[in-house]
Structures are given as C-alpha cells and as structure tokens.
C-alpha cells in the first residue's frame, strides 16, 4: 500500500490511502474516511446542516432575532406574519420569530444536557452489567426495570410536585427515564462481545476486568450507543415539547417551543401562525437529528444497512 522511496522523490500519496506511520495517523485516517462517507450521504448532510443552523441560531440569537422575545405589545397582539414580524405575534404581541430563535438555545440546552448525562452513564452501567453477568447483572437489570416503568411524564409530575415546575426538572426527568434504554443497548452489545476471541486473548494476557471493559468492550459498544443517542435526540425534543405543552417544563415567559405550541392551541383557528411555526420548528429539528443519526450509523456500523 505504501510507495517505496526510490532515487527520484516518490509522489506523495493522498493521506487517506497511504500507510499510516504512527498511531495518530491511523486514527486520523479512520476519522477522515468516516467523514468522507458521511459527506456522501445527502440526507445526513441535510440533517447536519439543520443542526448547524440550530447551533448558529442559539449562539447568535440576540443578533438574529428581530425583536426582544419577551417584549409585550398588547396593541399588536396576534398579528399575522408580515415583513416586520416574520412569523406573526402571539397573544401578548411578542414576536414569534424572535421567540423561536431564542428557543433554539433552550432546545439545545435540553438535548445537550440529557445526552451528556444519559450517554456515558448508560454505556458504562450497561457494559459493566453485561460483562460481569450473574448477580451484578441481575441487580442492574432490575434497577433499569424500575426506571423503565416510569413514563417520563409521571416522573416529571413527581419532581414538579416536590421542586416546583421548571426546565431543570423536565431535563432531570427525561434523563432519568432515558438512561435505562442506553444501558440495555450497551449490555446487549457487551453480551455478544464478551464471548469473542479477542476478549479471551486479553484475559489470557492477564488484563483486569476493568481494563478489558474500558479498552476493549466499550469501544465496540460506542457506535451503536452514539447512533442511538442521536436518534434519541429527536425524542428528547418531542418529550420536552410535550412537557412544555402541559406546562410542566419550561415556565412562561421562557420561549420553549413546546410551551409556545401549547398556548397557541387556544388561538389555533384564528391565529394559525401561533401553533404552526413552533410546531414546524420542533418537527424540522427532530427530523434533522434523525437524519443525522442515520448517516452516523452508516459510517460507524456499515453492516447494519
């Protein structure tokens, strides 16, 4: 695969196809090839583009929004979309476009926080449970059963009852009900992995169980867990929107998309823009995460096509 140096300087081979000469090069090559595969997937790129747009909106919200999202103007309430108010105004005269742009921050906050909690915890717990089996596995699985038995809605209600309504309570509830699925996925992968010859070889070298779990098992679980996390993100947005819809998550005047859809419901027949635009935002971003997750799966786990 590599070109041997000859008397004349050999032509430099493109980075991705030449022989790796160090661990760093090997990893970079793999990432490079993965990125190229991803870039070739049009739908996944669409998903990525929308997510990037979401991030840009979140970061530059104050610059992109045309109005102050919380500024009320009762005289200009429930105005249809126009040149001044791209998406119209809500029942308090607040500009819906600006509220949606600022709402991007909240959406990202929820998705990010839940994913960053649920991913690592689910992965590690699942891998440990699957690898050790026996008593440890039984205990962990019963604990996950406990959490799986709760719909996130009920759990949020419980937290709200104790702590009062709020965004953090919603995030906590979604995370607590979401990690068992991740743990089960990691456990299922681990059960297959632990009977392979390369794990047996590691044991024969005297590696401790923890060493094997972190160096050999978890890297093999990562692809499916990562893909599942991205696919989950759509669900998280919808759940948060649902909670917001019920008034359990983000509290007014926070421009959370679900809450906006909820309040807009009452005015749906006369002022369709109050429901439609936040609803569209939720749908588009959920779809984007789904497409992105699909593309990621094609890269990380090609044989599952």
Partner 1 sequence: MISVQNLDLAFQTAAEEHKVLNAINFEVAPGEVFGLVGESGSGKSTVLRCIAGLYRHWTGGISVDGQSVAGRLTKAHHRKIQMVFQDPYGSLHPKHTVNTTLAAPLRIHSIGDIDRRIVEVLGQVGLPTAARFRYPHQLSGGQRQRVAIARALILEPSVLLLDEPTSALDVSVQAEILNLLADVRRARNLTYIMVSHDLAVVAHLCDRVGVMQQGRIEEVLEVPTLLAGEARTDYTRILFEASRRYDRSMASSLAGAAKTA
Our finding on whether 216 is near partner 1 (CB under 8 A) is yes
Our finding on whether 98 is near partner 1 (CB under 8 A) is no
Return the number of other C-beta atoms located less than 10 Å from residue 99's C-beta. 26
Q: Which residues contact 154 (CB under 8 A, 6 or more apart)?
A: none
In the list 10, 30, 62, 265, the residue contacting partner 1 (rule: CB under 8 A) is 30
In the list 26, 39, 59, 161, the residue contacting partner 1 (rule: CB under 8 A) is 26
Q: Which residues contact 76 (CB under 8 A, 6 or more apart)?
A: 85, 89, 93
* Residue whose C-alpha is closest to residue 73's, from 44, 104, 98, 42: 98
Our CB check for partner 1 shows the closer of 4 and 270 to be 4
Our CB check for partner 1 shows the closer of 84 and 192 to be 192
Q: Which residues contact 255 (CB under 8 A, 6 or more apart)?
A: 69, 70, 98, 99, 100, 102, 103, 106
Stretch that binds partner 1, among 81-89, 96-104, 159-167, 212-220 (CB under 8 A): 212-220
Our finding on whether 42 is near partner 1 (CB under 8 A) is no
In the list 202, 243, 281, 296, the residue contacting partner 1 (rule: CB under 8 A) is 202
Our CB check for partner 1 shows the closer of 30 and 265 to be 30
Instruction: Please check whether residue 1 is in contact with residue 11, taking contact to mean a CB–CB distance below 8 angstroms.
Output: no
Our CB check for partner 1 shows the closer of 217 and 241 to be 217
Q: How far is the CB of 131 from partner 1 (least distance, A)?
A: 15
Our CB check for partner 1 shows the closer of 196 and 304 to be 196
Q: How far is the CB of 136 from partner 1 (least distance, A)?
A: 18
Our CB check for partner 1 shows the closer of 20 and 153 to be 20
Binders of partner 1 among 132-151, rule CB under 8 A? none
Our CB check for partner 1 shows the closer of 66 and 208 to be 208
* Residue whose C-alpha is closest to residue 37's, from 252, 238, 301, 264: 301
Tell me the C-alpha to C-alpha distance, in Å, between residue 200 and each of 130, 207, 208.
15, 10, 12
Our finding on whether 197 is near partner 1 (CB under 8 A) is yes
The H or E element containing residue 131 is helix 96-132
Q: Which residues contact 217 (CB under 8 A, 6 or more apart)?
A: 127, 130, 131, 190, 193, 194, 199
Helix (H, G, I), strand (E, B) or coil at 89: strand
Helix (H, G, I), strand (E, B) or coil at 175: helix
Our finding on whether 12 is near partner 1 (CB under 8 A) is no
Our finding on whether 226 is near partner 1 (CB under 8 A) is no
Q: Which residues contact 291 (CB under 8 A, 6 or more apart)?
A: 43, 44, 46, 47
Binding mask 145-184 for partner 1 (x = CB under 8 A): ----------------------------------------
Contact set with partner 1 (CB under 8 A): 1-2, 19-23, 25-26, 30, 196-198, 200-207, 211, 215-216, 219-220
């Amino acid at each position: 695969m590599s070109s041997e140096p000859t008397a004349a300087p050999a032509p430099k081979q493109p980075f991705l196809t030449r022989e790796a000469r160090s661990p760093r090069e090997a990893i970079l090559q793999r990432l490079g090839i993965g990125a190229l595969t991803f870039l070739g997937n049009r739908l996944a790129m669409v998903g990525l583009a929308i997510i990037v747009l979401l991030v840009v909106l979140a970061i530059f919200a104050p610059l992109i929004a045309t109005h102050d999202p919380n500024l009320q103007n009762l005289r200009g309430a429930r105005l249809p979309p126009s040149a001044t108010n791209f998406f119209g105004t809500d029942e308090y005269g607040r500009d819906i476009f600006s509220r949606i742009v600022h709402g991007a921050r909240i959406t990202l906050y929820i998705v990010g926080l839940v994913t960053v909690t649920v991913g690592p915890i689910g992965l590690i717990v699942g891998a440990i449970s699957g690898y050790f089996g026996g008593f440890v596995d039984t205990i962990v699985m019963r604990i996950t059963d406990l959490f799986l038995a709760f719909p996130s809605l009920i759990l949020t209600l419980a937290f709200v009852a104790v702590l009062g309504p709020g965004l953090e309570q919603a995030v906590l509830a979604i995370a607590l009900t979401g990690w068992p699925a991740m743990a089960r996925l990691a456990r299922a992968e681990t059960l297959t992995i632990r009977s392979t010859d390369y794990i047996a070889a590691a044991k024969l070298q005297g590696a401790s169980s923890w060493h094997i779990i972190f160096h050999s098992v978890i890297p093999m679980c990562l692809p499916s867990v990562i893909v599942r996390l991205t696919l989950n993100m759509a669900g998280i947005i919808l759940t948060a929107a649902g909670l917001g819809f019920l008034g359990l998550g983000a509290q007014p005047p926070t421009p959370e998309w679900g809450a906006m859809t909820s309040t807009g419901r009452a005015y749906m027949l006369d002022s369709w823009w109050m429901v439609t635009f936040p609803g569209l935002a939720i749908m588009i971003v959920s779809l984007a995460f789904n497409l992105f997750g699909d593309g990621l799966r094609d890269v990380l786990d090609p044989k599952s096509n």
